[in-house]
């Protein structure tokens, strides 16, 4: 295995400031879209878009307090908890996705962090199984150590998703149970392997335009830059602290996609959560501005998402073809469990737990709309 990232050596390193990115974001709309579309064509086929599928391999019961997430145990949402799926069920879902032209499968577990043991071993087997279907496999499992990242690499993992969510300043207004630095450390641990990085964020959580641009600054100044950047529009879910947030406009979404495309030119900009509220014309504008990946299927973890047949119709109208797997980066070799050279260390890392008070969460607790106790943290108190 390697940690030299030859797949990113063609990147030209540039250090962006927040003000530079803000100036781009605030350009006249059509000028911004034109510039982004031009950059997009320099690095990508404008008529190819990757279709990805997200499988929730373990749903609900998460001990974190991410204000946007209906899977947090402390919030009163309609998410039903289910434990880790068996490998054969994940394989069946991946095969169905492949039949629809989907080239990438993301396996998501509602965990705070990866823990060595039977469940992680089961996830490693899922990665091996789906990779051998000639599909790109991405995992989003929470925080993980360098050794755990290397075990995923041996299993053949193509990408690891760990979003930074927002700017470092605004992050504190959304999450209090883990620190922003833990996000960056996890990404750094992934970078010590040949696994590609998928990291982006969410707009519409009450943040300012400056926060959005600062989030892009952090991503753009990573070296290598993330190979995948999801841009999510908040889907406000009843029972979460952000349930009353107003949806972002399509123009905000296009601006964010276009700015991301300019400052992170070689990445796959992923049009992620929030597509159900976008018109086909709005989505076409996003593709023009540089988005070249979507998530297909009727659910995105726990929130609604357009049906694959609707996406195929849109692709036909626009003359877009699905991107094949491994077009951007080579397939990882799969090392079977019995031949693995990297083994569990039984680590118990001390990830941070800032514990500061978030005003809107405190108001929600007082109103009884979210759990005010620490019962949801029992699972991780021993970490």
Annotated catalytic residues are: 62, 66, 69, 106, 138, 198, 270
- Return left, alpha or beta for 308; rule: phi > 0 is left, psi -120 to 50 is alpha, else beta: alpha
User: Does 286 count as an annotated binding residue?
Assistant: no
CA distance 379 to 78: 21
User: Does 139 count as an annotated binding residue?
Assistant: no
Torsion of CA 59, 63, 67, 70, to 10 degrees: 20
104 SS3 class: strand
CA distance 229 to 13: 17
Residue 113's closest CA among 186, 43, 207, 46?
186
Query: To 5 degrees, how large is the angle CA 271–CA 216–CA 178?
Result: 90
CA-CA distances (angstroms) from residue 194 to 3, 30, 114, 191, 201? Answer: 5, 38, 19, 7, 23
User: Does 106 count as an annotated binding residue?
Assistant: yes
Binding-site entries for [2Fe-2S] cluster:
106, 138, 198, 270
- Which residues are annotated as part of the binding site for [4Fe-4S] cluster? 62, 66, 69
Binding-site residues from annotation: 62, 66, 69, 106, 138, 198, 270
């Amino acid at each position: 295995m390697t940690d030299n990232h030859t797949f990113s050596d063609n990147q030209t390193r540039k250090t962006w400031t927040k003000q530079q990115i803000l100036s781009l974001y605030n350009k006249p709309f059509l000028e911004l879209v034109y510039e982004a579309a031009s950059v997009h064509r320099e690095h990508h086929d404008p008529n190819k878009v990757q279709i990805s599928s997200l499988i929730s391999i373990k749903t609900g019961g998460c001990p974190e307090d991410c204000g946007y997430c209906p899977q947090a145990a402390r919030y009163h949402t309609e998410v039903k908890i289910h434990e880790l799926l068996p490998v054969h069920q994940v394989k069946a879902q991946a095969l169905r996705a492949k039949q629809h032209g989907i080239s990438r499968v993301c396996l998501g577990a509602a965990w705070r962090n990866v823990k060595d043991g039977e469940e992680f071993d089961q996830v490693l087997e899922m990665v091996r199984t789906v990779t051998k279907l000639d599909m790109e496999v991405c995992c989003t499992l929470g925080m993980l150590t360098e050794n755990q990242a290397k075990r995923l690499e041996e299993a053949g993992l193509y990408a690891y998703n760990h979003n930074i969510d927002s700017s470092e300043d605004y992050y504190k207004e959304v999450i209090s149970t883990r620190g922003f630095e833990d996000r960056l450390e996890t990404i750094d641990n992934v970078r010590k392997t040949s696994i590609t990085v998928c990291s982006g964020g969410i707009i519409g959580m009450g943040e300012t335009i400056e926060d959005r641009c600062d989030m892009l600054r952090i991503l753009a100044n990573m070296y290598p830059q993330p190979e995948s950047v999801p841009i999510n529009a908040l889907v406000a879910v009843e029972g979460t602290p952000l349930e009353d947030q107003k949806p972002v406009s399509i123009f905000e979404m296009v601006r964010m996609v276009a700015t991301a495309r300019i400052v992170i030119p070689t990445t796959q900009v992923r049009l992620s959560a929030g597509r159900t509220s976008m018109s086909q014309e709005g989505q076409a504008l996003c593709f023009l501005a540089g988005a070249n990946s979507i998530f297909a299927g009727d659910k995105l973890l726990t929130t609604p998402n357009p049906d694959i047949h609707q996406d195929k119709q849109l692709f036909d109208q626009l003359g877009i073809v699905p991107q094949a797997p491994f077009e951007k980066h080579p397939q990882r070799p799969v090392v079977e469990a019995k031949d693995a050279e990297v083994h569990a260390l039984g680590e118990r890392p001390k990830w941070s737990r800032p514990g500061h008070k978030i005003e809107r969460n405190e108001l929600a607790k007082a109103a009884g709309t979210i759990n005010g106790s620490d019962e949801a943290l029992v699972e991780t108190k021993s970490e």
